[in-house]
Structure 1
């Protein structure tokens, strides 16, 4: 059960950790953001535990962006304890939502938000569709983007420019 602390009071995990009473209690989790695609999840009975369901599948055309603001506001407004954002594996949907939160409430660029999440959970890999939605969200928030999508032999991936001006993919 891998739980990653992205910020004080903000955790990222897969489904298994969200089902553990000890994981939730030891981190004082009072809000779970469930992006697992499962409607009925047998969370432990804990006082003050609220669950925000985000019914989005891990597919490139799934409308995750529709939930960016709602989830970010709930995370930001959770003053009673910690927040755990989880999907099935904690690799695509839940990290994308946390990156959106970091852009909205910490004013980080998408590149910076990705670096923060990746530092705590090195195996995050949002799908290409979620990257596109995050780029659109970044453009909406800041009027610019810090990444671009590029065609590679591995498919379409987010790319950033290094200090020499050469592009490199950040999601491989």
Structure 2
């Protein structure tokens, strides 16, 4: 492994940002939630979820490079990216654990580039941030530097390009799918999957087949000022109502990355009474390219507190309701939390 001190790391990043080159790759190997709180400008997040670590411990092989998206993978394979810089919270240097995210991610990246071109920051992210705060991005939108905003927009555009060719909706549960605008315009594809209802979480996508599917539209933009949390309850009701009818719901926005992913995360958290990190790992294991914006992540963290409280607030039905029998969830680790069943609501 090649370790690099903070000063050299800083000089390389400064040169990279000033020249606006894209021949290096910066990887944050901390958890997604830590990454969304703050990270180095331009860094992408690649880590090993616990469900995959269990596979590594059992001798299985994983391909974390898939978390980078097709565009970056192609640049790595074609030699357009010459160097990879990686950092974490200092855990690997302290423990040297081969099951740490840093070591697992480093091993995966070395399959794509020569190991001599992979560099690891010797200090922790927090130590680097204290010394070079202007090179770091925080989740506080009022304090984000202009360069950071442009970096975030560029990263999101890359994700949109990567996921826009998604051939069909991805199943999160047997009655819940996540898709994008292209999927929402393919009637035959949705019918073949048994989808009967569509939750449109955008202000630009059309509802193409109103006579064939039940629709609900949440007209919101994907930006830091949107309060998507106020729609969580209605979205949960809509999905559960369709499930109780024996139907299936597809949740989509434009690219299927931010708004629709946020709604799906909220739904899974609420119905399983699990934390955001667990829900995120589950969704990410099925659909790699999800990236709720920082504001949505903060809203989900607030919703997490409500979900995990001892006496959760029930969904308020619009009309008379009945509570169906409980149902089993996916086999995902050892989830011991009880299932929280929402009441059914008749929207007809």
TMscore range, shorter length: 0.7 to 0.9
Q: Which residue of 268, 278, 284 maps to 1:118?
A: 284
Q: Which residue of 211, 216, 241 maps to 1:77?
A: 241
Structure 1 residue 76: Cα displacement: 1.3
Query: Which residue pairs with 1:13 in the alignment?
Result: 179
Query: Which residue pairs with 1:135 in the alignment?
Result: 301
Is 1:90 matched up with 2:247? no
Query: Which residue pairs with 1:157 in the alignment?
Result: none
- Tell me the alpha carbon deviations over residues 87-107 of structure 1, each in whole angstroms, 9 at most, x when there is no partner: 000000001000100111111
Query: Which residue pairs with 1:63 in the alignment?
Result: 227
Structure 1 residue 60: Cα displacement: 1.5
- Whether contact under 8 Å (1:92, 1:125) holds in the other structure is yes
Bigger radius of gyration among the two: 2
- Whether contact under 8 Å (1:28, 1:82) holds in the other structure is yes
SS of residue matched to 1:116: helix
SS of residue matched to 1:29: coil
In structure 1, stretches of 5+ residues that fail to align are 145-172
Q: Distance in 2 between matches of 1:36 and 1:118?
A: 21
Higher relative contact order (CA closer than 8 Å, sequence separation 6+)? 1
- Whether contact under 8 Å (1:3, 1:11) holds in the other structure is yes
Query: Which residue pairs with 2:80 in the alignment?
Result: none
Which protein is richer in helix relative to its size? 2
Is 1:36 matched up with 2:186? no
Q: Which residue of 190, 195, 210 maps to 1:24?
A: 190
Which of structure 1's runs of 4+ aligned residues deviate more than 4 A? none
SS of residue matched to 1:62: coil
RMSD: 1.7
Which protein is richer in strand relative to its size? 1
Q: Distance in 1 between matches of 2:173 and 2:207?
A: 25
- Whether contact under 8 Å (2:170, 2:177) holds in the other structure is yes
Query: Which residue pairs with 1:51 in the alignment?
Result: 215
Structure 1 residue 12: Cα displacement: 0.3
The alignment covers a number of residue pairs equal to: 142
In structure 2, stretches of 5+ residues that fail to align are 1-166, 311-348
Q: Distance in 2 between matches of 1:102 and 1:132?
A: 16
Q: Distance in 2 between matches of 1:77 and 1:133?
A: 24
- Whether contact under 8 Å (1:21, 1:44) holds in the other structure is no
- Whether contact under 8 Å (1:12, 1:84) holds in the other structure is yes
